[in-house]
A = this chain, B = another copy of it.
């Protein structure tokens, strides 16, 4: 039996649609009911973000009314925000609901809320019965244009972000811009940084479109925001399938542009800086750095940092460093980033709008100078 072995090779297809609908749980809007009926669903387990439920006190009863008579739906509320990812409690609550509601592989877990709740509920849905059907209804800008349309889920463990989780595409994503109405200004703004990021990496037209729509976005124009979300989500969705490595088995993840410093800054500030705010600063930093090392023109560097500022984002935080240069704790983020990816260091920069470049080593002095420049700008 020496030198012989059995070879296993197969491919698994994944398919899902991201719909854009308004007033999803209005009784007269039968989109979701029809979608569920067409899939033969009967039982639903609905997980609602507690923060959203507080901001929209009639949501729970609207959902109950919406499904009544058509489906056996059981709802629970879970804590909103990152806290829901810091313990097993939320996952346990969703698993319990799946068990009690007899959700099988042809019923649905529906999660409604911000990115953290979707990450947690998506993880529970992915491991219950080795994966039950799952609908994501993201209710923040950040989750509608970025995390909610992707393929990842997870919770924090041992104090480490997303230490446990899976790659598990949802069956359906539904973005309803009317959920954004009750967001505060910080959360409304936060998600825009991911749109800036993908425009810089992939789409000069989209970058210019954002520049042209700064005032409408600052004035909380829902139509404009919906278009921003659509274009950003579309680029994100294309990126996942277009790279040939949707479950990230390789080392390069170009959509992490601006993210190494952002992750670290969130941690160092104890998450008082929101993810989108940290990403805005991380982009400003890496853009400035690309300018410093002569990869990006000074005019374009200024233009990008100006756009970020004009949307109301800070481009500098004292915890990033000071006139002496970068905070060593932030700089250490590069090492951790490399360890997380488990290969050689790979940082994505841009040499023009729409032109991403991977680099594998960095000039620490140029990062120190970038910090000083951003401090002086702010």
Contact = CB atoms under 8 A, between A and B. Distances in A.
**Chain A interface mostly helix, strand, loop or mixed?**
mixed
8 contacts: A4-B20, A6-B149, A6-B237, A8-B18, A8-B149, A10-B241, A10-B246, A12-B247
A129 B336 CA distance: 13
A130 interface: yes
Contacts of A17: 5-8
A342 interface: yes
A162 B130 contact: yes
Interface string A219-252: 0000000110010011001001100001111000
Contact of A8 (B15, B107, B126, B130): B15
Interface in A110-161: 123, 126-131, 149, 152, 154, 157-158, 160
A377 interface: no
Contact of A10 (B14, B126, B165, B342): B14
A358 to B, nearest CB: 18
Contacts of A247: 12, 130-131
Interface residues of A, number: 63
A45 B200 CA distance: 40
Copies in the complex: 2
Nearest to A250: B105
Interface of A: 1, 4-20, 95-96, 99, 102, 104-107, 123, 126-131, 149, 152, 154, 157-158, 160, 162-167, 169, 226-227, 230, 233-234, 237, 240-241, 246-249, 339-343
Nearest to A124: B164
A366 to B, nearest CB: 27
Contacts of A158: 95-96, 99
A11 B8 contact: no
Contact of A14 (B12, B131, B241, B341): B12
Contact of A166 (B127, B163, B343): B127
A1 B11 CA distance: 34
